[in-house]
Amino acid sequence: MRHRDLLSLCPLYFNMYRTVLVDKIDIDGGKRLLQKLDKLELEISAAFWLYIVELDKWRLIFATKLLEKLGPIKIYDQILSVLDNLDPPTTILLKDISIVSPENEIVQAIKFAIHTELYTISEIWLSKVVINNIFIESACILCICEAYKIKSSCIGYREQAGQHVLLKNSIEPTQK
């Protein structure tokens, strides 16, 4: 097979890769868990699935400013209680979840680029994107609802149809 023929198969392999990755996470379960946690008033300002390349695993990330006040054990206990009582049950395990501070660099990068409406749960996909020098292989954003100051006019770029697309403050893509 010639090199040019191999390149023509790239979209096929990318789609297969994408399907395998997405099959490993329970997006609906993450949304339902977030809804239940919201009722506990854990003040979650960000929730998203993040693919960790080094581990070849997805993590459901929750950012809350209560991490310092309550401590991780109390927050994980509350999450475990909700997970155990989620109906219908989810495939999400406690080991699939990470609690971080809203000051976490990945949370800050995503907040820099995306903002969701308060009290709504979204499904916004990021793939192979660089935001403020933070590379995100793949992520599914459920909510980013805390105000964040924009520091510059260029927040990063992503690849779209084989071209790099510059992301501006308005979050509207413009050709580079």
Q: Domain for residue 41, yes or no? A: yes
The total domain count for the chain is 1
Residue 16, pLDDT score? 44
Q: Domain for residue 59, yes or no? A: yes
User: What pLDDT band is residue 115 in, cutting at 50, 70 and 90?
Assistant: confident
Q: Which domain holds residue 50?
A: 3-147
Mean pLDDT of the chain: 78
pTM of the model: 0.71
pLDDT in tens, 82-113: 999 999 999 999 999 999 999 999 999 999 88
- Asked whether the beta carbons of 48 and 110 are under 8 A apart, the reply is yes
Residue 52 corresponds to which amino acid? I
Residue 52 CA neighbour count, 13 Å, CB half: 11
Q: Starting from the edge strand earliest in sequence, which strands make up the sheet with 57-64, in order?
A: 97-100, 57-64, 44-52, 134-144, 124-131, 154-160, 163-168, 173-175
Residue 1, pLDDT score? 43
Q: Domain for residue 65, yes or no? A: yes
Q: How far apart (Å, rounded) are the C-alpha atoms in residues 64 and 103? A: 9
Query: How many Cβ atoms sit within 10 Å of the Cβ of residue 2?
Result: 7
